[in-house]
Amino acid sequence: MTTTQGIVQHLMSLSESARQEVLDFVEFLESREAEEVARRDNARWSRLSLTSAMRGMEGEDSPYALSDLKEVFK
């Protein structure tokens, strides 16, 4: 039996109101998954954008020195 068949089998034994709750939960899972996909895509685009913006600058000297920092993080 596949997962889908098992879910359908269990759904058939539930009342209509319980099935509606299951549907609400499935829609919640779908939206959560869509948000995660969008978050990953945004992160990929951000990395690509930063990489594109910095292209060709790898060997350039920075106009700033460590003494220009107000705070030093370790």
Round to whole Å and give the CA distance between 49 and 70. 27
Residue 59 lies in a domain: no
Tell me, yes or no, whether 64 lies in a domain: no
Residue 45 to residues 24, 34, 48, 50, 63: CA-CA distances in angstroms? 32, 16, 5, 9, 27
Number of structural domains the chain divides into: 1
What phi and psi values does residue 58 have, to the nearest 5 degrees? Answer: -60, -40
Assigned domain for 21 exists: yes
Domain coverage including residue 47? 17-51
pLDDT for the residue 66? 81
Q: What is the pTM of this model?
A: 0.54
45 part of a folded domain: yes
What pLDDT was estimated at residue 8? Answer: 94
pLDDT tens per residue across span 42-67: 888 888 887 788 787 877 888 888 88
- Could you report the per-residue pLDDT of 4-31, keeping only the tens digit for each? 999 999 999 999 999 999 999 999 999 9
| pLDDT of 25 | 97
pLDDT at position 70, please?
83
